Structure formats: C-alpha cells, structure tokens
Chains A and B, each alone.
Chain A
Amino acid sequence: MSVSAISPAFATPGARIRTNLRATFATARAYLFRFASNPIQLIRAPLSPILIVGGFILAYNISGQTTVPDDQVIGFLIVGVFMTGCWSSTVWGAGFALQAERYYGTIGAVISAPASTLAVITGYTLGSLAIGIVDAVATVIVGLAVGGRFIIHDLLALILSVVAIYVSTICIGLAFAGLFILSRNANSLSNVLQTPVYILCGFYVPRTVLPDWAQWIGAGIPLTHAADALRGASLTGDSLGEIARPLLLTFGTALVFLVVGIWALGKADRSARSSGTLDLL
C-alpha cells in the first residue's frame, strides 16, 4: 500500500494557490484583530496622518506658499499623506511581518510551515493596508474640511492611480521583507528610509526642487510615478490617457521590485534555514 506524501492542500497548483490564499487572509484577519485590541493604536492610526498633514499645511501657509507647481497646497499634501500611509503600511506591514513573528517566537513555525512565507507577508501587508484605507479616508475628510480642492474628471483614472499606489507599495514591501528577515535592524532601517523616500518621491515637496541626481533616484521608485498619476487624476482632472505614462512607469518599476522581492525572500528563506539563527533576537 502506498501512502501519498503530499497533502491534498498542496497536491495540485490550484490547491497550493488556494491554501496560500487562505494563509494570507488568515494572517490579515489575525493582524486586524491584534490591532483592534490595542486602544492606543486605534486612536493613533487616524490621528497621525491628520496631524502630519496639518503640520505641513501650516508650514506652507506660514512660509507664504499657497500653491506648489500646478497644484493647491492642501490637495498636494493630502495626496502626499495618503502615499505616506501606503508606504508605512507596506514597509511596517511587510517589513515587520517576520520581525513580529520572530518577536512572538513563532517565526520558525512560519518559515517551516507548508504555506508560503510570501503568503504570510502578503497577509500582514493586506491587514496593514486595510487600516491605511481608513486613515486615508479620515485624512481626505479633514483635508476637504480645511479647504482642500479635488478636481476629478475621470473616475477610472483615479481608481487606477490608487490601485497603482497599492501595487507599487506592496512590491516595495516585498522587496524589503527579505532584507528585514536577515537583518535584526529592521526597525532602524524602516525608520531611516522613511524620510528620504518622502523627499525623493515628492510626497511633501515637489520633485522639481530636488537636484537632478535626486530626481533620477526618485524616478526608480514606483511611488514617484504613482504620486504623479494620482495628483494628475485628483487635483488637475487628468484623464486616463493623460496619466498613462506615469501609470506604465509605476507598474514597470514595481515589477522590478517584485522580482527583487521574490528573489530576496527565497534567498532569506534558504539562508535562515542553513544558518539556523532565525529565532535569535
């Protein structure tokens, strides 16, 4: 009598995909429950982006700037804060996914589990992005209340811009996740990387004020083009055709990060298994 060594959950490619999807959604659900059980996080989540955008609006007003090139300051900054939320969600969500498991002492189980590690990381990212959506809505409402103006002529362009942002941040998050597994300085790396990304991608200041070399670096980050697309679709009423170029650049650069992420996660997985130091804090 032969015994099948392969679990039905992984017997076929379709079954494997379904199992990994279940792992993703289970991880996301657990993340959201943990988040909801922490009152400080519940207060902080919508409050932080509102305070950030408020501080920068005041800074611009005090310095006498009411417009940035082509855009109204409040609208420009709201898009920037929305992008910040997406970045934080993925860097802290994806990057910290396995760091959190390491802290809980369950990373060995996660890595050795049959479900893909990528599925777990994606689950953390989705959970984090779900919270980010709530924060984004709160920020937009506050931005409108203080006089922000949005000009939207093409709803499909707007939706695709937002999708492009989430896709690009997920791909960037996956690229960093592998690095964060191998580095026990994930917290420091995440903290340090935030502000340079905000500057290079034009979240709070237009990229045109940066030197050429900085603009070239920013051009390699998908969020830069996603920000251009979203600002075009939401602040100046650009159509899908008018934002097609930044959208294509977004997906193109995001693909590079996705490939790097898959490679890095695989390498980190193999390295962690061979060195056996994954559980060491």
Chain B
Amino acid sequence: MLAPTSTVLSGLHPRTIGNTLRVANLTAVNLLKVKIQSLTPPFYLLTFCGLPIFSLILTALIYRENETLRNYAVVAGAGTSFLFIMLFSGGENLEGERQRGTLASLFIAPSSRLSWLLGFQLSAAYEAIFVAIVTVSLGVAIFGTPVSINPISLVVTILLMVVCLWGLGMVLSAIGTAVRAANQLSNMLFSILTPLSGSLFPISEAPAWLRIPARCLPFGYGINALVGAITKDASVVALKGDLLPLLGFAIGLPVLGAVSFRLLDRYARQQGHLDML
C-alpha cells in the first residue's frame, strides 16, 4: 500500500529543529549573496553603511555641544540600524519574491514557514550587527565616544532586540504583503517610529505625550540598554529596568508575528492573488 503523499513529504522533509535552522541559515546566506551581487559590493557597503553613518553625523552635529547626548546618539545610531534593517527586511524580501514571481512557490514549499521567515530575519540580523559595529567604531573614531562594554549585557540586549524585531517584523511583513505595499508601509512606519524609538534622543528626556506611547514599544528600552551595555559597562542587573520590558516584548511579539503570518497564509489561499503585483 502506498503511503499518503503528506507522509512521504513529511518523511522527506522532516520539520525538525535542525532542518529548520539549516534552511534558515541557507536562506539568510543566500539572501545576503543575492543582495550583495545585485547591488555590487561597493554599492552594498555604501548603502548599508553610508545611511546610518550619515544619519549619525547629522545627529551628532545637532548635539555638537552636548557630549552626553552625542555619545548617546552614536550608540542609538547603531540601535536604529537594528530597528530599520530588521523591522522592514521581511516585508521587503517578500515583496522582492512577489516581483520575481516566486512568492507563491515559497508559500507552498514543503519547508516550514518559520524556516524561511527566520532566514529573512537572520540575514537582516547579520547585516544589522555589521552595520552597528561599523557605526559605533566610526562614532568612537570621529567623536571620541567612550566605550566600556559589558559583553554579557550586550549579548543579552542584542538577542532580546533581535527576537522583538523578528516578531514585529513578521507582523509588518504580513500586513505589507497583504496590501502589496511593503516598501511604502516601511517608509511610512519608519517616519512614525523614529521619534518613538529613542533613536534621536533618550525616551526619558522626551515630553510626557511622547514618552507614554514610546514606552508601549520595545525600541526605546532596547536602545537604552544598548547604550548602557556599550558605554557604561552596565550589568544585566543594572539594566533590568530596560531588559525586563524588553523580555516581555520578546515573548509576546513573536507570538503575534506567528499569528499574523498564519492569517496572511489563510488570506492568501482564500484570495488566490498572492503573486499579483
């Protein structure tokens, strides 16, 4: 007796953690290769390093007479790289798949959604970490920002931020893909999130009407924790005021992201126009 197709397929492509991670890593590396090759390495470096560096220079010039804020701006610039790259890469990658006509194939591929979604965000995380290192290094070299790194706090903060941004990125990817406007949605949301994220100034210094909604988002906590971990050698305990809320977001947002993507999957199958531009 022949085994059901689903059993055969599941036998060939077991959705184990190992396979999921393998597919995720392959996806991430492949995405990076495609991006670098399509832009060519010089343009790739110019785009992904140039943007945050010039933004950092602009912010540092505004704070030219305030050393504390200037040092904050250097690390916040690195945090903003995480925010921008990771939050919007999922939607951008899905839009790119749609434009190439491969989006539907991606959805019906036997590998789990999680694997390639994770791959998208992994590629973004690799990019974001690289850009953050370049930004902070240049900030130290140009503006003399003092650096005193607590490696454990730094790793914990980055991990929590990556998980938060992965979850939120999936929500935005789902919405952007459904409305076929991932790029425009990204650009609009980035304008809204910039003053709420702590990328221009510490949220604690913002007026109350801005501070309250900013505290409902993970970014301000993440960037503040990054500043403490990189410039003040702050321990995990010392940063608990930022890391605990960030942990809460890191638990809730991936769940929300998974639900959003499941809804997108159902919507796409019902409507049948996933590949339509």
Instruction: Report yes or no: B61 in contact with A209, Cβ–Cβ below 8 A.
Output: yes
Any chain B CB within 8 A of the CB of A275? no
CB distance from B81 to the nearest CB of A (A): 14
List B37-85 residues whose CB lies under 8 Å from chain A.
39-40, 43, 46-47, 50-51, 54-55, 57-59, 61-66, 69
Given contacts A63-B66, A196-B54, contact A47 B191 (CB under 8 A): yes
Bound Cα distance from A181 to B275, whole angstroms? 28
The interface-forming segment of B103-111, B112-120, B180-188 is B180-188
CA distance A102 to B192 in the complex (A): 31
Q: Is the CB of B184 within 8 A of A40?
A: yes
Whether, in the assembled complex, B14 has its beta carbon less than 8 Å from a beta carbon of chain A, the answer is no
A52 to B190, CA, bound (A): 10
A191 near B184: Cβ-Cβ < 8 Å = no
CB neighbours of B63 from chain A (8 A): 59, 63
User: At the interface with chain A, which of B131-139, B164-172, B194-202, B236-244?
Assistant: B194-202
* Chain B residues positioned under 8 Å from A199 (CB to CB): 54, 57-58, 61
Whether, in the assembled complex, B155 has its beta carbon less than 8 Å from a beta carbon of chain A, the answer is no
Given A40-B179, A191-B51, A199-B54, A48-B46 contact (CB < 8 Å): no
B58 touches A52 (CB 8 A): no
Given contacts A63-B69, A64-B66, A199-B57, contact A58 B184 (CB under 8 A): no
- From residue 36 to 78 of chain A, which have CB atoms closer than 8 A to chain B? 38, 40-41, 43-44, 47-48, 51-52, 54-56, 58-60, 62-65
Task: Report if A198 contacts B (CB, 8 A).
Answer: yes
- The distance in angstroms between the C-alpha atoms of A188 and B195, with both chains bound, is 24
Given contacts A62-B69, A192-B50, A192-B51, contact A55 B62 (CB under 8 A): no
**A152 CB-CB contact with B under 8 Å:** no
Task: Kindly state whether residue A179 has any CB partner on chain B within 8 Å.
Answer: no
Q: Does B263 contact A (CB under 8 A)?
A: no
Contact A188 B69 (CB under 8 A): no
The reply to whether A188 and B43 contact each other, CB–CB distance below 8 Å, is yes
B47–A63 CB distance below 8 A:
no
Q: Any chain A CB within 8 A of the CB of B251? A: no
B59 and A59 contacting across the interface, CB-CB below 8 Å: yes
Task: Tell me, rounded to whole Å, the shortest Cβ–Cβ distance linking A55 to chain B.
Answer: 4
Are the CB atoms of B201 and A59 closer together than 8 Å? yes
Residue of A nearest to B210 (CB): A58
Given the complex of chains A and B, what is the CA–CA distance between A198 and B57 in angstroms? Answer: 11
Q: Report if A55-B47 is in contact (Cβ < 8 Å); known contacts: A40-B184, A63-B66.
A: no
CB neighbours (8 Å) of B47 from chain A are 188, 191-192
Query: A204 on the interface (CB 8 Å rule)?
Result: yes
- Chain A residues with CB under 8 A of B34: none
Most buried by A among B57, B59, B179, B191: B191
A62 and B201: CB pair below 8 A? yes
A185 contacts chain B at the CB level, 8 A cutoff: yes
B179 contacts across to A, CB distance below 8 A: 40
Contact at B188–A48, with CB atoms within 8 Å?
yes
- In Å, the complex CA distance between A63 and B188 comes to 27
Check A195 for interface membership: any CB of B closer than 8 A. Answer: yes
B184 touches A209 (CB 8 A): no
CB atoms of A40 and B185 under 8 A apart: yes
Does residue A205 face the partner (Cβ distance < 8 Å to B)? yes
Mask of A12-51 contacts with B, CB within 8 angstroms, 1/0? 0000000000000000000000000010110110011001
Q: Which residues of B contact A204 (CB under 8 A)?
A: 58, 62
Residues of B near A54 (CB, < 8 A) are 195
- The answer to whether B69 touches A55 (Cβ under 8 A) is no
A256 CB, min distance to chain B CBs, angstroms: 24
User: A55 contacts B195, CB within 8 Å?
Assistant: yes
CB distance from A265 to the nearest CB of B (A): 22
- B58, A58: Cβ atoms closer than 8 Å: no
**A205-B40 contact given A41-B184, A44-B191, A191-B51, CB 8 Å threshold:** no
B207, A58: Cβ atoms closer than 8 Å: yes
Counting chain B CB atoms within 10 Å of each CB, the highest count among A47, A58, A60 belongs to A58
Q: List 22 A-B contacts (CB under 8 A).
A: A38-B184, A40-B188, A44-B187, A44-B188, A44-B191, A47-B191, A51-B192, A52-B194, A55-B195, A58-B201, A58-B207, A63-B66, A65-B62, A65-B65, A185-B39, A188-B43, A195-B54, A195-B57, A198-B58, A199-B54, A199-B58, A205-B64
- Which A residues are closer than 8 A to B by beta carbons? 38, 40-41, 43-44, 47-48, 51-52, 54-56, 58-60, 62-65, 185, 188-189, 191-192, 194-196, 198-199, 204-205, 209-210
8 nearest CB pairs, A to B: A195-B54, A44-B188, A188-B47, A55-B195, A48-B191, A192-B50, A205-B61, A40-B184
B residues sitting closer than 8 Å to A (CB atoms) are 39-40, 43, 46-47, 50-51, 54-55, 57-59, 61-66, 69, 179, 181, 184-185, 187-188, 191-192, 194-195, 200-201, 205-207, 210
- 14 other contacts beyond A62-B205, A192-B50, with CB at 8 A cut-off? A40-B181, A40-B188, A51-B191, A52-B191, A54-B195, A59-B200, A63-B62, A194-B54, A199-B57, A204-B58, A204-B62, A205-B62, A209-B64, A210-B61
